[in-house]
Structure 1
Amino acid sequence: MKLEKSSPLLLVGAGKMGGAMLAGWVEQGIDPAAIVVCDPRPSEEMAALLAAKGIRHVTAVPGDLTPAVVLIAVKPQMMAEALESLKPVVGTGTLVVSIAAGKTIGTFEAAFGGVPVVRAMPNTPAQVGRGMTAVFANAAVSSDQKHLVEDLLSGIGAVAWLDDEGEMDAVTAVSGSGPAYVFLLAECLAEAGRKAGLSPELAETLARQTVAGAGELLYRSDLDAATLRKNVTSPGGTTAAALSVLMADDGFQPLLDAAVKAAADRSRELG
Protein backbone atom coordinates (compact mmCIF):
# COMPACT_ATOMS: atom_id res chain seq x y z
CA MET A 1 0.00 0.00 0.00
CA LYS A 2 1.49 3.31 -1.10
CA LEU A 3 0.68 6.87 -0.10
CA GLU A 4 0.28 9.26 -3.02
CA LYS A 5 -0.79 12.84 -3.63
CA SER A 6 -4.19 11.60 -4.82
CA SER A 7 -4.60 9.30 -1.78
CA PRO A 8 -2.53 10.96 0.94
CA LEU A 9 -2.06 10.61 4.64
CA LEU A 10 -4.13 13.21 6.47
CA LEU A 11 -2.60 14.16 9.82
CA VAL A 12 -5.21 15.79 12.04
CA GLY A 13 -3.37 17.66 14.79
CA ALA A 14 0.30 18.61 14.56
CA GLY A 15 1.14 19.22 18.21
CA LYS A 16 4.00 17.61 20.12
CA MET A 17 3.18 14.02 19.20
CA GLY A 18 1.69 14.60 15.77
CA GLY A 19 4.63 16.86 14.96
CA ALA A 20 7.12 14.24 16.15
CA MET A 21 5.50 11.65 13.91
CA LEU A 22 5.53 14.04 10.96
CA ALA A 23 9.24 14.73 11.49
CA GLY A 24 9.85 10.98 11.55
CA TRP A 25 7.99 10.47 8.28
CA VAL A 26 9.98 13.23 6.61
CA GLU A 27 13.19 11.63 7.88
CA GLN A 28 12.00 8.27 6.45
CA GLY A 29 11.72 9.84 3.04
CA ILE A 30 7.94 9.74 2.65
CA ASP A 31 6.94 12.02 -0.21
CA PRO A 32 5.83 15.34 1.33
CA ALA A 33 3.24 15.62 -1.44
CA ALA A 34 1.55 12.52 0.01
CA ILE A 35 0.94 14.24 3.38
CA VAL A 36 -1.71 16.79 4.31
CA VAL A 37 -1.63 18.40 7.75
CA CYS A 38 -4.81 19.76 9.28
CA ASP A 39 -4.19 22.04 12.26
CA PRO A 40 -5.86 25.41 12.85
CA ARG A 41 -2.99 26.78 14.95
CA PRO A 42 0.36 25.10 14.23
CA SER A 43 3.37 26.25 16.23
CA GLU A 44 5.94 28.49 14.57
CA GLU A 45 8.34 25.55 14.45
CA MET A 46 5.74 23.32 12.81
CA ALA A 47 4.72 26.01 10.32
CA ALA A 48 8.37 26.39 9.35
CA LEU A 49 8.76 22.62 8.83
CA LEU A 50 5.63 22.48 6.67
CA ALA A 51 6.84 25.38 4.55
CA ALA A 52 10.37 24.03 4.24
CA LYS A 53 9.22 20.58 3.13
CA GLY A 54 6.37 21.77 0.94
CA ILE A 55 3.75 19.87 2.95
CA ARG A 56 0.18 20.98 2.35
CA HIS A 57 -1.32 22.65 5.41
CA VAL A 58 -5.02 23.28 5.95
CA THR A 59 -6.91 24.72 8.90
CA ALA A 60 -10.03 22.60 8.30
CA VAL A 61 -10.62 19.21 6.71
CA PRO A 62 -11.00 19.69 2.91
CA GLY A 63 -14.25 18.18 1.70
CA ASP A 64 -12.73 17.08 -1.62
CA LEU A 65 -9.91 15.03 -0.03
CA THR A 66 -9.80 11.23 -0.43
CA PRO A 67 -7.13 10.16 2.07
CA ALA A 68 -5.81 6.61 2.24
CA VAL A 69 -4.97 7.14 5.90
CA VAL A 70 -6.38 9.54 8.49
CA LEU A 71 -4.15 9.80 11.55
CA ILE A 72 -5.93 11.54 14.41
CA ALA A 73 -3.56 13.22 16.85
CA VAL A 74 -5.88 15.57 18.72
CA LYS A 75 -6.48 15.54 22.46
CA PRO A 76 -9.30 13.25 23.68
CA GLN A 77 -11.30 16.30 24.75
CA MET A 78 -11.32 17.55 21.12
CA MET A 79 -12.21 14.19 19.59
CA ALA A 80 -15.96 14.67 19.07
CA GLU A 81 -15.42 17.81 17.01
CA ALA A 82 -12.62 16.19 15.00
CA LEU A 83 -14.66 13.08 14.18
CA GLU A 84 -17.59 15.15 12.97
CA SER A 85 -15.35 17.13 10.62
CA LEU A 86 -13.82 13.93 9.21
CA LYS A 87 -17.06 12.12 8.32
CA PRO A 88 -17.21 13.53 4.74
CA VAL A 89 -13.73 12.24 3.85
CA VAL A 90 -13.62 8.84 5.60
CA GLY A 91 -14.85 6.04 3.35
CA THR A 92 -15.04 2.28 3.82
CA GLY A 93 -11.48 1.85 2.57
CA THR A 94 -9.96 4.68 4.61
CA LEU A 95 -7.58 3.53 7.33
CA VAL A 96 -8.22 5.46 10.54
CA VAL A 97 -5.36 5.60 13.04
CA SER A 98 -5.84 7.25 16.44
CA ILE A 99 -3.23 8.12 19.05
CA ALA A 100 -5.74 9.61 21.51
CA ALA A 101 -5.52 8.23 25.04
CA GLY A 102 -8.57 6.31 26.21
CA LYS A 103 -10.53 6.46 22.95
CA THR A 104 -11.46 2.91 21.99
CA ILE A 105 -11.83 1.33 18.57
CA GLY A 106 -15.58 1.48 19.16
CA THR A 107 -15.44 5.29 19.27
CA PHE A 108 -14.29 5.39 15.63
CA GLU A 109 -16.52 2.56 14.44
CA ALA A 110 -19.49 4.43 15.88
CA ALA A 111 -18.46 7.57 14.02
CA PHE A 112 -17.47 6.07 10.66
CA GLY A 113 -19.06 2.62 10.46
CA GLY A 114 -17.13 -0.55 9.65
CA VAL A 115 -13.91 1.11 8.53
CA PRO A 116 -10.42 -0.23 9.31
CA VAL A 117 -9.24 1.31 12.58
CA VAL A 118 -5.90 1.12 14.38
CA ARG A 119 -5.53 2.44 17.91
CA ALA A 120 -1.97 3.46 18.74
CA MET A 121 -0.23 4.77 21.84
CA PRO A 122 3.16 6.38 21.12
CA ASN A 123 5.25 8.41 23.56
CA THR A 124 7.28 11.60 23.42
CA PRO A 125 10.73 10.04 22.82
CA ALA A 126 9.32 9.71 19.29
CA GLN A 127 10.69 13.25 18.92
CA VAL A 128 14.22 11.78 18.85
CA GLY A 129 13.39 8.50 17.11
CA ARG A 130 13.33 6.51 20.36
CA GLY A 131 9.60 6.21 20.82
CA MET A 132 7.60 3.17 21.91
CA THR A 133 4.25 2.66 20.20
CA ALA A 134 1.75 -0.07 21.05
CA VAL A 135 -0.96 -0.72 18.46
CA PHE A 136 -4.23 -2.63 18.20
CA ALA A 137 -6.21 -3.16 14.99
CA ASN A 138 -9.83 -4.07 14.40
CA ALA A 139 -10.81 -6.95 12.10
CA ALA A 140 -11.29 -4.65 9.09
CA VAL A 141 -7.57 -3.75 8.91
CA SER A 142 -5.87 -5.59 6.05
CA SER A 143 -2.39 -7.07 6.04
CA ASP A 144 -1.19 -4.31 3.70
CA GLN A 145 -2.62 -1.67 6.02
CA LYS A 146 -0.86 -3.24 9.00
CA HIS A 147 2.42 -3.09 7.12
CA LEU A 148 1.80 0.57 6.29
CA VAL A 149 1.08 1.37 9.95
CA GLU A 150 4.26 -0.40 10.99
CA ASP A 151 6.26 1.54 8.38
CA LEU A 152 4.80 4.84 9.58
CA LEU A 153 5.40 4.15 13.26
CA SER A 154 8.81 2.46 12.99
CA GLY A 155 10.21 5.81 11.84
CA ILE A 156 9.75 7.14 15.38
CA GLY A 157 10.87 4.08 17.37
CA ALA A 158 9.80 0.56 18.30
CA VAL A 159 6.35 -0.90 17.57
CA ALA A 160 4.46 -3.62 19.48
CA TRP A 161 1.14 -5.12 18.32
CA LEU A 162 -1.42 -6.01 20.98
CA ASP A 163 -3.82 -8.96 20.81
CA ASP A 164 -6.25 -7.44 23.30
CA GLU A 165 -7.42 -3.83 23.21
CA GLY A 166 -8.00 -4.07 26.95
CA GLU A 167 -4.22 -3.89 27.41
CA MET A 168 -4.12 -0.37 25.98
CA ASP A 169 -4.97 1.41 29.24
CA ALA A 170 -2.02 -0.27 30.99
CA VAL A 171 0.21 0.47 27.99
CA THR A 172 -0.81 4.12 28.20
CA ALA A 173 0.08 4.14 31.90
CA VAL A 174 3.48 2.47 31.43
CA SER A 175 4.98 3.74 28.17
CA GLY A 176 2.61 6.54 27.13
CA SER A 177 2.96 8.41 30.42
CA GLY A 178 6.25 6.75 31.35
CA PRO A 179 8.62 9.42 30.02
CA ALA A 180 7.16 11.86 32.57
CA TYR A 181 8.11 9.45 35.36
CA VAL A 182 11.69 9.35 34.09
CA PHE A 183 11.84 13.14 33.83
CA LEU A 184 10.54 13.37 37.39
CA LEU A 185 13.31 10.98 38.46
CA ALA A 186 15.85 13.37 36.92
CA GLU A 187 14.21 16.32 38.71
CA CYS A 188 14.23 14.54 42.06
CA LEU A 189 17.79 13.30 41.65
CA ALA A 190 18.96 16.84 40.93
CA GLU A 191 17.05 18.17 43.94
CA ALA A 192 18.59 15.47 46.15
CA GLY A 193 22.03 16.49 44.87
CA ARG A 194 21.37 20.11 45.79
CA LYS A 195 20.26 19.07 49.27
CA ALA A 196 23.47 17.04 49.58
CA GLY A 197 25.51 20.22 49.03
CA LEU A 198 26.07 20.40 45.27
CA SER A 199 25.51 23.61 43.33
CA PRO A 200 22.21 23.67 41.40
CA GLU A 201 24.07 23.70 38.08
CA LEU A 202 26.28 20.71 38.91
CA ALA A 203 23.40 18.75 40.43
CA GLU A 204 21.31 19.34 37.29
CA THR A 205 24.15 18.26 34.99
CA LEU A 206 24.91 15.13 37.00
CA ALA A 207 21.26 14.07 37.18
CA ARG A 208 20.51 14.78 33.54
CA GLN A 209 23.58 12.98 32.22
CA THR A 210 23.14 10.04 34.58
CA VAL A 211 19.53 9.43 33.60
CA ALA A 212 20.28 9.87 29.89
CA GLY A 213 23.39 7.69 30.05
CA ALA A 214 21.69 4.92 32.00
CA GLY A 215 18.83 4.94 29.50
CA GLU A 216 21.25 4.67 26.60
CA LEU A 217 23.08 1.80 28.30
CA LEU A 218 19.79 -0.01 28.87
CA TYR A 219 18.84 0.59 25.23
CA ARG A 220 22.11 -0.80 23.87
CA SER A 221 22.65 -3.64 26.30
CA ASP A 222 21.42 -7.21 25.87
CA LEU A 223 21.09 -7.42 29.66
CA ASP A 224 17.80 -6.75 31.43
CA ALA A 225 17.34 -3.84 33.82
CA ALA A 226 17.64 -6.00 36.95
CA THR A 227 21.01 -7.38 35.83
CA LEU A 228 22.33 -3.93 34.95
CA ARG A 229 21.24 -2.70 38.39
CA LYS A 230 23.02 -5.59 40.09
CA ASN A 231 26.17 -4.90 38.06
CA VAL A 232 26.34 -1.38 39.55
CA THR A 233 25.73 -2.59 43.11
CA SER A 234 28.69 -3.74 45.20
CA PRO A 235 27.73 -5.55 48.43
CA GLY A 236 27.94 -3.14 51.34
CA GLY A 237 28.74 -0.20 49.06
CA THR A 238 27.19 3.20 48.46
CA THR A 239 24.73 2.01 45.81
CA ALA A 240 23.55 -0.82 48.05
CA ALA A 241 22.90 1.70 50.82
CA ALA A 242 20.76 3.81 48.49
CA LEU A 243 18.90 0.82 47.10
CA SER A 244 18.04 -0.39 50.59
CA VAL A 245 15.87 2.75 50.78
CA LEU A 246 14.49 2.69 47.22
CA MET A 247 13.68 -1.04 47.34
CA ALA A 248 12.11 -1.02 50.81
CA ASP A 249 8.50 -2.12 51.27
CA ASP A 250 7.41 1.51 51.06
CA GLY A 251 9.94 2.44 48.36
CA PHE A 252 9.97 2.90 44.61
CA GLN A 253 7.93 -0.12 43.48
CA PRO A 254 4.71 0.56 45.42
CA LEU A 255 4.87 4.21 44.36
CA LEU A 256 5.13 3.22 40.70
CA ASP A 257 2.40 0.61 41.13
CA ALA A 258 0.08 3.32 42.42
CA ALA A 259 1.14 5.79 39.72
CA VAL A 260 0.55 3.32 36.88
CA LYS A 261 -2.83 2.35 38.33
CA ALA A 262 -3.86 6.01 38.54
CA ALA A 263 -2.86 6.61 34.92
CA ALA A 264 -4.61 3.45 33.69
CA ASP A 265 -7.77 4.38 35.59
CA ARG A 266 -7.72 7.84 34.03
CA SER A 267 -7.26 6.32 30.57
CA ARG A 268 -10.42 4.27 31.10
CA GLU A 269 -12.29 7.39 32.25
CA LEU A 270 -11.24 9.28 29.12
CA GLY A 271 -12.74 6.47 27.03
Structure 2
Amino acid sequence: MLPPTSWFVGCGNMGGAMVAGWRKAGIDLSGMTAVSPSGREIEGVSVATAIPDGQPDWCFIGFKPQMLADIAPGLASHVGPGTVLLSILAGAEAQSLRSAFPDAKAIVRLMPNLPVSEGEGVTAIYSDDADETLRAQVDEVIGALGLAAWCPDESAFDVIGAIAGSGPAYLARFVDALSSAAQDEGLSAELADAIALQVAGGSALMARATGETMPALAKRVASPGGTTEAGLKVLDAEDGMEPLMRRVVKAWRKRSEEMAAAARD
Protein backbone atom coordinates (compact mmCIF):
# COMPACT_ATOMS: atom_id res chain seq x y z
CA MET A 1 0.00 0.00 0.00
CA LEU A 2 1.55 3.34 0.96
CA PRO A 3 5.38 3.22 1.09
CA PRO A 4 7.23 3.43 4.43
CA THR A 5 7.46 7.23 4.36
CA SER A 6 5.15 9.67 2.62
CA TRP A 7 4.43 13.37 2.95
CA PHE A 8 1.32 15.34 2.08
CA VAL A 9 2.40 18.94 1.59
CA GLY A 10 -0.70 21.11 1.65
CA CYS A 11 -3.28 18.69 3.02
CA GLY A 12 -6.40 20.84 2.70
CA ASN A 13 -9.98 19.85 1.88
CA MET A 14 -9.11 17.41 -0.89
CA GLY A 15 -6.06 16.02 0.86
CA GLY A 16 -8.09 15.59 4.03
CA ALA A 17 -10.76 13.75 2.04
CA MET A 18 -8.13 11.36 0.66
CA VAL A 19 -6.75 10.73 4.16
CA ALA A 20 -10.28 10.07 5.46
CA GLY A 21 -10.89 7.59 2.64
CA TRP A 22 -7.65 5.73 3.30
CA ARG A 23 -8.44 5.63 7.00
CA LYS A 24 -11.88 4.13 6.33
CA ALA A 25 -10.32 1.62 3.94
CA GLY A 26 -7.93 0.45 6.66
CA ILE A 27 -4.79 1.78 4.95
CA ASP A 28 -1.77 2.02 7.27
CA LEU A 29 -1.04 5.74 7.59
CA SER A 30 1.65 5.46 10.24
CA GLY A 31 4.34 6.51 7.76
CA MET A 32 2.49 9.61 6.49
CA THR A 33 3.20 13.16 7.60
CA ALA A 34 0.92 16.03 6.59
CA VAL A 35 2.78 19.33 6.23
CA SER A 36 0.44 22.15 7.22
CA PRO A 37 1.70 25.58 8.34
CA SER A 38 -1.40 26.03 10.49
CA GLY A 39 -0.66 22.81 12.34
CA ARG A 40 -4.33 21.85 12.29
CA GLU A 41 -5.01 18.30 13.36
CA ILE A 42 -5.69 15.76 10.59
CA GLU A 43 -7.07 12.56 12.00
CA GLY A 44 -4.98 9.51 11.24
CA VAL A 45 -1.68 11.18 10.32
CA SER A 46 1.05 13.10 12.08
CA VAL A 47 1.25 16.81 11.28
CA ALA A 48 4.30 19.03 10.82
CA THR A 49 4.19 22.82 10.45
CA ALA A 50 7.30 22.88 8.23
CA ILE A 51 8.90 20.55 5.71
CA PRO A 52 10.74 17.81 7.64
CA ASP A 53 14.31 16.72 7.06
CA GLY A 54 15.06 13.96 4.59
CA GLN A 55 13.43 12.67 1.45
CA PRO A 56 10.18 10.67 1.56
CA ASP A 57 9.37 7.72 -0.70
CA TRP A 58 6.23 9.50 -1.92
CA CYS A 59 5.47 13.21 -1.71
CA PHE A 60 1.90 14.34 -2.35
CA ILE A 61 1.40 18.05 -3.02
CA GLY A 62 -2.01 19.63 -2.55
CA PHE A 63 -1.53 23.36 -2.00
CA LYS A 64 -3.05 26.04 -4.26
CA PRO A 65 -1.61 25.78 -7.80
CA GLN A 66 -0.58 29.44 -7.81
CA MET A 67 1.69 28.70 -4.84
CA LEU A 68 3.84 26.24 -6.81
CA ALA A 69 6.52 28.81 -7.69
CA ASP A 70 6.82 29.84 -4.04
CA ILE A 71 6.84 26.39 -2.44
CA ALA A 72 8.76 24.32 -5.00
CA PRO A 73 12.23 25.84 -4.39
CA GLY A 74 12.16 24.88 -0.71
CA LEU A 75 10.64 21.48 -1.35
CA ALA A 76 12.64 20.41 -4.41
CA SER A 77 15.74 19.40 -2.43
CA HIS A 78 13.57 16.88 -0.55
CA VAL A 79 12.26 15.35 -3.78
CA GLY A 80 15.24 13.35 -4.99
CA PRO A 81 15.84 10.31 -7.20
CA GLY A 82 14.13 8.06 -4.66
CA THR A 83 10.99 10.19 -4.33
CA VAL A 84 7.80 9.93 -6.36
CA LEU A 85 5.96 13.25 -6.62
CA LEU A 86 2.15 12.92 -6.69
CA SER A 87 0.36 16.16 -7.49
CA ILE A 88 -3.29 17.06 -6.99
CA LEU A 89 -2.66 20.61 -8.22
CA ALA A 90 -5.31 21.57 -10.78
CA GLY A 91 -3.83 22.88 -14.01
CA ALA A 92 -0.17 22.14 -13.17
CA GLU A 93 0.98 19.98 -16.09
CA ALA A 94 3.53 17.18 -15.82
CA GLN A 95 6.13 19.25 -17.68
CA SER A 96 5.74 22.16 -15.25
CA LEU A 97 6.01 19.78 -12.30
CA ARG A 98 9.12 18.16 -13.78
CA SER A 99 10.69 21.61 -14.18
CA ALA A 100 9.91 22.42 -10.55
CA PHE A 101 11.09 19.01 -9.27
CA PRO A 102 13.80 17.94 -11.74
CA ASP A 103 15.25 15.13 -9.60
CA ALA A 104 11.99 13.31 -8.82
CA LYS A 105 11.95 9.59 -9.53
CA ALA A 106 8.58 10.01 -11.28
CA ILE A 107 5.79 12.55 -11.59
CA VAL A 108 2.21 11.36 -11.12
CA ARG A 109 -0.75 13.71 -11.54
CA LEU A 110 -3.92 12.94 -9.58
CA MET A 111 -7.32 14.61 -9.81
CA PRO A 112 -9.60 13.16 -7.12
CA ASN A 113 -13.07 14.32 -6.18
CA LEU A 114 -14.43 14.79 -2.67
CA PRO A 115 -16.36 11.47 -2.45
CA VAL A 116 -12.96 9.78 -2.03
CA SER A 117 -13.57 10.45 1.65
CA GLU A 118 -16.22 7.71 1.54
CA GLY A 119 -14.33 5.36 -0.77
CA GLU A 120 -16.77 6.37 -3.53
CA GLY A 121 -14.61 8.81 -5.44
CA VAL A 122 -13.18 9.07 -8.92
CA THR A 123 -9.51 9.91 -9.37
CA ALA A 124 -7.96 10.71 -12.74
CA ILE A 125 -4.32 9.58 -12.93
CA TYR A 126 -1.64 10.51 -15.45
CA SER A 127 2.10 9.90 -15.64
CA ASP A 128 4.51 9.76 -18.54
CA ASP A 129 7.41 8.31 -16.55
CA ALA A 130 5.93 5.86 -14.00
CA ASP A 131 7.05 2.27 -14.56
CA GLU A 132 4.74 -0.73 -14.27
CA THR A 133 5.70 -1.40 -10.65
CA LEU A 134 4.86 2.16 -9.62
CA ARG A 135 1.63 2.11 -11.62
CA ALA A 136 0.53 -1.00 -9.74
CA GLN A 137 1.35 0.66 -6.40
CA VAL A 138 -0.57 3.81 -7.32
CA ASP A 139 -3.48 1.69 -8.53
CA GLU A 140 -3.67 -0.06 -5.16
CA VAL A 141 -3.47 3.11 -3.07
CA ILE A 142 -5.79 5.25 -5.17
CA GLY A 143 -8.13 2.35 -5.90
CA ALA A 144 -8.87 2.20 -2.17
CA LEU A 145 -10.61 5.57 -2.64
CA GLY A 146 -12.96 4.49 -5.43
CA LEU A 147 -12.48 4.40 -9.21
CA ALA A 148 -8.86 4.93 -10.29
CA ALA A 149 -8.88 6.06 -13.93
CA TRP A 150 -5.53 6.08 -15.75
CA CYS A 151 -5.42 8.54 -18.64
CA PRO A 152 -3.50 8.12 -21.90
CA ASP A 153 -2.67 11.84 -22.02
CA GLU A 154 -3.24 15.08 -20.16
CA SER A 155 -6.15 16.05 -22.38
CA ALA A 156 -8.11 13.03 -21.14
CA PHE A 157 -6.92 13.84 -17.61
CA ASP A 158 -8.44 17.32 -17.95
CA VAL A 159 -11.77 15.95 -19.18
CA ILE A 160 -12.04 13.59 -16.21
CA GLY A 161 -11.12 16.49 -13.95
CA ALA A 162 -13.96 18.52 -15.38
CA ILE A 163 -16.51 15.74 -15.08
CA ALA A 164 -15.43 13.92 -11.92
CA GLY A 165 -13.36 16.47 -10.02
CA SER A 166 -15.87 19.28 -10.40
CA GLY A 167 -18.90 17.05 -10.93
CA PRO A 168 -19.95 16.87 -7.26
CA ALA A 169 -20.29 20.67 -7.25
CA TYR A 170 -22.39 20.61 -10.42
CA LEU A 171 -24.54 17.78 -9.08
CA ALA A 172 -24.96 19.69 -5.82
CA ARG A 173 -26.30 22.65 -7.79
CA PHE A 174 -28.78 20.39 -9.61
CA VAL A 175 -30.00 18.76 -6.40
CA ASP A 176 -30.36 22.18 -4.78
CA ALA A 177 -32.32 23.45 -7.81
CA LEU A 178 -34.59 20.40 -7.63
CA SER A 179 -35.21 21.15 -3.97
CA SER A 180 -35.88 24.83 -4.69
CA ALA A 181 -38.44 23.89 -7.34
CA ALA A 182 -40.16 21.60 -4.83
CA GLN A 183 -40.24 24.42 -2.29
CA ASP A 184 -41.83 26.70 -4.87
CA GLU A 185 -44.61 24.11 -5.12
CA GLY A 186 -45.22 24.22 -1.38
CA LEU A 187 -42.89 21.69 0.29
CA SER A 188 -40.88 22.71 3.33
CA ALA A 189 -37.15 23.31 2.78
CA GLU A 190 -36.24 20.41 5.07
CA LEU A 191 -38.47 17.90 3.29
CA ALA A 192 -37.55 19.16 -0.20
CA ASP A 193 -33.83 18.89 0.55
CA ALA A 194 -34.22 15.34 1.90
CA ILE A 195 -36.26 14.18 -1.09
CA ALA A 196 -33.96 15.75 -3.70
CA LEU A 197 -30.87 14.19 -2.11
CA GLN A 198 -32.52 10.78 -1.80
CA VAL A 199 -33.63 10.91 -5.44
CA ALA A 200 -30.10 11.70 -6.62
CA GLY A 201 -28.38 9.12 -4.41
CA GLY A 202 -30.96 6.38 -4.92
CA SER A 203 -31.04 6.79 -8.69
CA ALA A 204 -27.25 6.62 -8.93
CA LEU A 205 -27.06 3.53 -6.72
CA MET A 206 -29.81 1.80 -8.71
CA ALA A 207 -28.16 2.55 -12.05
CA ARG A 208 -24.77 1.34 -10.83
CA ALA A 209 -26.26 -1.87 -9.41
CA THR A 210 -28.26 -2.69 -12.55
CA GLY A 211 -25.88 -1.35 -15.18
CA GLU A 212 -28.75 0.61 -16.68
CA THR A 213 -27.80 3.63 -18.78
CA MET A 214 -29.09 7.08 -17.91
CA PRO A 215 -31.16 7.40 -21.12
CA ALA A 216 -32.72 3.98 -20.40
CA LEU A 217 -33.49 5.00 -16.83
CA ALA A 218 -35.12 8.23 -17.97
CA LYS A 219 -37.18 6.34 -20.54
CA ARG A 220 -38.32 3.81 -17.93
CA VAL A 221 -39.49 6.58 -15.59
CA ALA A 222 -41.24 8.64 -18.27
CA SER A 223 -44.56 7.29 -19.57
CA PRO A 224 -45.49 8.52 -23.06
CA GLY A 225 -47.57 11.67 -22.76
CA GLY A 226 -47.15 11.76 -18.97
CA THR A 227 -45.93 14.29 -16.46
CA THR A 228 -42.28 13.17 -16.45
CA GLU A 229 -42.11 13.40 -20.21
CA ALA A 230 -43.45 16.96 -20.00
CA GLY A 231 -40.60 17.89 -17.67
CA LEU A 232 -38.00 16.09 -19.81
CA LYS A 233 -39.04 18.13 -22.83
CA VAL A 234 -37.83 21.23 -20.97
CA LEU A 235 -34.48 19.59 -20.11
CA ASP A 236 -34.11 18.24 -23.66
CA ALA A 237 -34.82 21.55 -25.39
CA GLU A 238 -32.20 23.27 -27.55
CA ASP A 239 -31.27 25.49 -24.60
CA GLY A 240 -31.75 22.71 -22.02
CA MET A 241 -29.48 20.43 -20.01
CA GLU A 242 -26.95 19.22 -22.59
CA PRO A 243 -26.05 22.67 -24.00
CA LEU A 244 -25.80 23.98 -20.44
CA MET A 245 -23.36 21.24 -19.40
CA ARG A 246 -21.27 21.79 -22.52
CA ARG A 247 -20.93 25.46 -21.56
CA VAL A 248 -20.03 24.45 -18.02
CA VAL A 249 -17.26 22.08 -19.17
CA LYS A 250 -15.92 24.63 -21.67
CA ALA A 251 -15.71 27.20 -18.87
CA TRP A 252 -13.84 24.63 -16.75
CA ARG A 253 -11.40 23.89 -19.58
CA LYS A 254 -10.76 27.58 -20.24
CA ARG A 255 -9.90 28.19 -16.60
CA SER A 256 -7.77 25.02 -16.48
CA GLU A 257 -5.78 26.23 -19.49
CA GLU A 258 -5.27 29.62 -17.82
CA MET A 259 -3.98 27.93 -14.66
CA ALA A 260 -1.68 25.66 -16.68
CA ALA A 261 -0.23 28.68 -18.46
CA ALA A 262 0.37 30.43 -15.14
CA ALA A 263 2.16 27.34 -13.78
CA ARG A 264 4.52 27.35 -16.79
CA ASP A 265 5.63 30.95 -16.14
- Preserved CA contact (<8 Å) 1:133 1:160: yes
Q: Distance in 2 between matches of 1:60 and 1:219?
A: 43
Return structure 1 stretches of 4+ with deviation > 4 angstroms.
Answer: none
- The partner residue of 2:56 within 44, 67, 72 is 67
Match of 1:38 in 2: 35
Deviation at 1:255, TM superposition (A): 0.4
SS where residue 61 of structure 1 aligns? coil
Q: Distance in 2 between matches of 1:203 and 1:42?
A: 39
Gaps of 5+ in 2: 261-265
Deviation at 1:61, TM superposition (A): 0.8
The change in CA–CA distance for 1:211 and 1:112 in structure 2 (over 3 A counts) is same
- The partner residue of 2:127 within 134, 137, 140 is 137
Match of 1:57 in 2: 47
Match of 1:174 in 2: 163
- Preserved CA contact (<8 Å) 2:39 2:49: no
Match of 1:90 in 2: 79
Asked if 1:193 corresponds to 2:182, the answer is yes
Q: Deviations over 1:148-187 (max 9, x none)?
A: 2112211211011111112222222111111111000011
Report the more deviating stretch, 124-133 or 216-225.
216-225
- Percent identity, aligned pairs only, is 37
Match of 2:139 in 1: 150
Match of 2:3 in 1: 3
**Structure 1 counterpart of 2:24, which letter?**
E
- The partner residue of 1:28 within 17, 25, 28 is 25
- Preserved CA contact (<8 Å) 1:14 1:42: no
- Preserved CA contact (<8 Å) 2:24 2:118: no
Q: Deviations over 1:120-167 (max 9, x none)?
A: 11111112111101111122x121211121122112110111111122
**Structure 2 counterpart of 1:37, which letter?**
A
Q: Distance in 1 between matches of 2:14 and 2:227?
A: 39
Q: Deviations over 1:204-261 (max 9, x none)?
A: 2211211121122223221121111111111111110100111011111100000011
Q: Distance in 1 between matches of 2:125 and 2:176?
A: 31
- Preserved CA contact (<8 Å) 1:172 1:264: no
Asked if 1:126 corresponds to 2:105, the answer is no
Asked if 1:12 corresponds to 2:17, the answer is no
Report the more deviating stretch, 190-199 or 28-37.
28-37
**Structure 2 counterpart of 1:256, which letter?**
M
State the TM-score, normalizing by the size of structure 2.
0.92
Q: Distance in 2 between matches of 1:78 and 1:120?
A: 17
Report the more deviating stretch, 249-258 or 218-227.
218-227
Match of 1:233 in 2: 222
**Structure 2 counterpart of 1:132, which letter?**
V
Q: Deviations over 1:55-97 (max 9, x none)?
A: 32111111x2221100111121222223222112111221111
Q: Distance in 2 between matches of 1:227 and 1:209?
A: 20
Q: Distance in 1 between matches of 2:151 and 2:225?
A: 42
Q: Distance in 2 between matches of 1:264 and 1:2?
A: 32
Match of 1:259 in 2: 248
Q: Distance in 2 between matches of 1:25 and 1:125?
A: 12
Match of 1:164 in 2: 153
Q: What is the alpha-carbon root mean square deviation over aligned residues?
A: 1.6
